[in-house]
Amino acid sequence: MRIFLIRHGETDWNLEGRLQGREDIPLNETGILQADICGQAFRGMNIGAIITSPLARASKTAEIIAGHVGINELIIDDRLIERDFGELSGAAYDRRKYFDTFGIDTGIEPYDTLQKRLMDCIKDRAINMPDACNMIMVSHGGAINAVISALTGGEAGSGRTRLKNACISIICCSEGNPELDSYNLSAEEFKEYRSINGI
């Protein structure tokens, strides 16, 4: 079974370089187009479920993808929500660096908590999905990077990888044990992956 972990499409805050965290920022026109192109890349695949963060930018991305794969009902899982950046939500990246440098407590969700809830979500969902089915999970940059870091022993992901909007990361699961196959693929790169792997 494969889990396709997808980052939501672009928002205006992405364009402005602002931390979104739990702020419920919608997709912009580019983000809607990115989600549509992403969904097209999944046409013809056996997708058993689409699970999404509750935030609008993720759930809208999931809804658009669902239209291409014949899924009528999305599953909301709060564990896929973005990291809570506390007082830094809405801040530009230069302000975040200021707080990081001086160690000021901003109420940010602890990294180990973030990583654990995402990995728990993936493992729980994998165990409860038949091996013959694949699933799509739609989440956020910080959350997905925490997963990539966990599955690569810190060689990629948080602090090392800048994820594209609507990118696709692929996790292969056997008996509930996740292994990272590929990450940060564009829709075109994913089509090539499908061709190479016959899926």
Catalytic residues: 8, 82
Q: State the residue for tokens 């799509």.
A: 136
| Nearest-angstrom CA–CA distance, 156 and 42 | 25
Phi-psi region of 38 (alpha: psi -120 to 50; beta: other; left: phi over 0): alpha
DSSP 3: E
C-alpha span between 78 and 41 (Å, rounded):
26
Check if the beta carbon of residue 40 is closer than 8 Å to that of residue 188.
no
Place of tokens 């692929």: 170
Residue 91 phi/psi, 5-degree rounding, is: -75, 150
Neighbouring C-beta atoms of residue 134, cutoff 10 Å? 20
